[in-house]
Structure 1
Amino acid sequence: MTFSLVARCAETGMFGIAISSSSPAVAARCSYARAGVGAVASQNVTDPTLGPLTLDLMEQGASATEAIAAIVAQGRFIEYRQVLAVDGTGDTAIHSGPNSLGIWTQAQADNVASGGNLLANEGVPQAIVDGFLAASGHLGDRLIAAMRSGLAAGGEAGPVHSAGLKIVDMVAWPVADLRCDWTEDCPIEAVAKTWDVYKPQLDAYVQRALDPRAAPSYGVPGDE
């Protein structure tokens, strides 16, 4: 019911995740990222505890490969879970349990990993990875391009209704956490449209948190 990617920007060290599903509010349950540590997607009959646990292991020094191996060794009902991770070196790892739904598969390269279940065809994750590697610009732009590539390759077996994009970078909170929790239209395009609006203001929102005296105004009522 889901396809996603986790990724690291080799130039900036940012981490990000983008995800879409036929289920509502997929990003609320399945997307995890921590600045300086990595990004994780926990999906397919989702266990939301696996995302933070994988990040904790990587923060303690485990590679993505080692963290996923530990998750597989200790996770409950791990045969139903699909977990993707990328760490600070660009190492990527994926676990796809044999009880993943429908057509399920995965693909990975340095700095990017993609997986999905209940897919239209087995080529979707590779199309997502290829789309990410072919794109340029801000990590958010590359995540959107990758998800569009996955959708163009067939996406999920049925229509998707929710999507999300999360990016972390140097501060303790996500610098972007954009979601479409339900729509009858394309949720990926809804998130992409939101990203187009949010991207020019991203740095300003960080600046407002760190030192509002130097932050620019965007014409919000009461904001002078």
Structure 2
Amino acid sequence: MTFSLAGRCLETGRLGYVVATSSVCVGARVGAISRDCVVFSQARTDPRLHQIGIKGFDASGGNPDAALRAMRDAAVAPHWRQLGVLPRNGDPAHHTGSSCLDHCGAAVGKDALALGNFLGSATVLPAMIDAFTAANGDLAERLLAGIRAGEAAGSEREPLQSASLVVMGADELCDVDLRIDRSEDPIMEMGELLADWLPKAPAYRIRALDPDNAPSSAEVESR
């Protein structure tokens, strides 16, 4: 039982998502990202649907409804699935099956899509959208603000155990790819990990694109 938020930054062109749940290792099961879209498969999730969604998005020329349809058509027992697509441009698409546990559904913002099931209140998803929209700064920090607001508004009905945060940057390199696989407070630990990572992220981008001019490991770790 899961709540997630996908968001985009029109200023930088970046896409990202954050997700938290009451089971372990959510980053291995929920969410995938490409240069042009974020896709979700959650509730009784099937990670195989992610690549089906991305392929459907690309094959349709960037149509989120076509991507969603491809995932839903490929899903075993789609009534148990919660699916979502946030494109780089345009409106998101989403599906919540009839067997998903209440509170469940989706909330859509100008540049964001929130999905959730087995939530502690009906205000969780709107709170995530509102916090993301109001936040400033790096896209990852805005996504973290969104998931924190969802937790404060009711979270889900069981204690959270894991979280994941991913942001795709330019050149098809992830600027952020963080996981808390098991914790009594995964969103708090995600915030600590993100604060440690963000000052170091540009150096690792240089290592990928221009290794001759990349800083040393000691220089990176001192940031």
Q: Same fold (TM over 0.5)?
A: yes
- What's the counterpart of residue 80 of structure 2? 80
Q: Give the Å deviation of 1:51.
A: 1.2
TM-score, normalization: structure 1?
Answer: 0.92
Does the 8 Å contact 1:30/1:41 carry over to 2?
A: yes
Partner residue in 1 for 2:119: 119
Following superposition of structure 1 onto structure 2, how do residues 1-224 of structure 1 map, counting pairs within 5 Å? 1-35=1-35, 37-60=36-59, 61-184=61-184, 186-219=185-218
Name the SS of the counterpart of 2:16 in structure 1: strand
In the alignment, residue 83 of structure 2 is paired with which amino acid? V
SS of aligned partner of 1:54: helix
Deviations 1:162-211 (A, max 9, x none): 00101111233422110000012x10111111000101111111110111
In 1, distance between residues paired with 2:164 and 2:19? 5
Contact 2:180 2:190 in 1 (8 A): yes
Q: Secondary structure at the match of 1:94?
A: strand
**Identity of matched residues, %:** 35
Alignment partners' CA distance in 2, 1:100 and 1:33:
23
Query: What letter is aligned with 2:96?
Result: S
After superposition, the CA RMSD in angstroms is 1.7
Distance 1:15 1:196 in 2: 19
Structure 2 SS opposite 1:53: helix
Aligned partners of 2:46, 2:74: CA distance in 1, in Å? 13
Q: Cα offset for 1:122?
A: 1.3
Q: Using structure 2 for the length normalisation, give the TM-score.
A: 0.93
Q: Give distance in 1, aligned partners of 2:126 and 2:63.
A: 22
Aligned pairs, number: 220
